[in-house]
Chains A and B, each alone.
Chain A
Amino acid sequence: MRISVQAEDFDIGEEISKIRHGRTDLGAIATFTGLVRDIHGDHVIRKMTLEHFPAMAEKELLKIAEQSMKRWPLEDLTIIHRYGPLYPGDNIVLVITTSHHREAAFKAAQFIMDWLKTDAPFWKKEETDMGEHWVAAKEDDTKKRDRWT
């Protein structure tokens, strides 16, 4: 299992190679990458700054990862979450799950993302053509998370 909270960018291809590391028993690798968009509603986004709580961020991601491992027969997983100043097109988050079969890999990746949105201590601030603001938490994201409980 690889969990990383980092300012640096990540390379999706490299991360897939790392998690495979020569294994031939894996039937499925699912990946999700979250990116900074340049449009949010009517606003043009110029920059997104991710603030995080260093003492808790990795620990909370690990908790979510462990829950997903309990729930589905995963072989391994990677979660990388960036912080700091990011720009449109930049990577924010990467989830990779591996399993013998696709269903576990797909579902676990979605479960991890749904929990991470509301329960990992990160906060997004957008700088737009209309000024800057903290992104509000969405009720819908809480509903998506709670579907799993």
Chain B
Amino acid sequence: MNIFYFARIRENIGISSEEINLPSGVKTVSDLIRFLEDKGDNYSAAFAESDLIRVAVNNDYVGLDYKITDKDEIAIFPPMTGG
């Protein structure tokens, strides 16, 4: 599975994308975030405030309870500040 990070979350983690093998227990976006948080302090800092996390799966915004599979492309980013 490919994961892309943007803005503050990209900077916290220190990379803009990565490929992971989806662990069997990870069924939803929030499971994935919990899994990623365990990868290190940079990840737990990035996801410390759940209010400040937004997610897209295959280029559509989704909620944290959205179900994911290994074929999905995930993007994780903070609330948008366009305009």
Task: Give me the interface of A with B, judged by CB distance under 8 Å.
Answer: 34, 50-51, 53, 55-56, 59, 81, 92-93, 113, 116-125, 134-137
Contacts and interface: CB of A to CB of B under 8 A. Distances in A.
Given A51-B6, A121-B6, A123-B6, A56 B56 contact: yes
B74 to A, nearest CB: 12
A121 B77 contact: yes
17 contacts: A55-B75, A56-B56, A56-B75, A81-B83, A92-B83, A93-B82, A93-B83, A116-B83, A120-B83, A121-B6, A121-B82, A123-B6, A123-B8, A123-B80, A123-B81, A134-B8, A135-B81
A49 to B, nearest CB: 10
Question: Mostly helix, strand, loop or mixed at chain A's interface?
Answer: mixed
Listed residue (B77, B79, B80) with the most chain A CB atoms within 10 angstroms of its CB: B80
Given A56-B59, A59-B59, A121-B6, A137 B81 contact: yes
B17 to A, nearest CB: 12
Given A51-B7, A56-B59, A123 B77 contact: yes
A123 B83 CA distance: 9
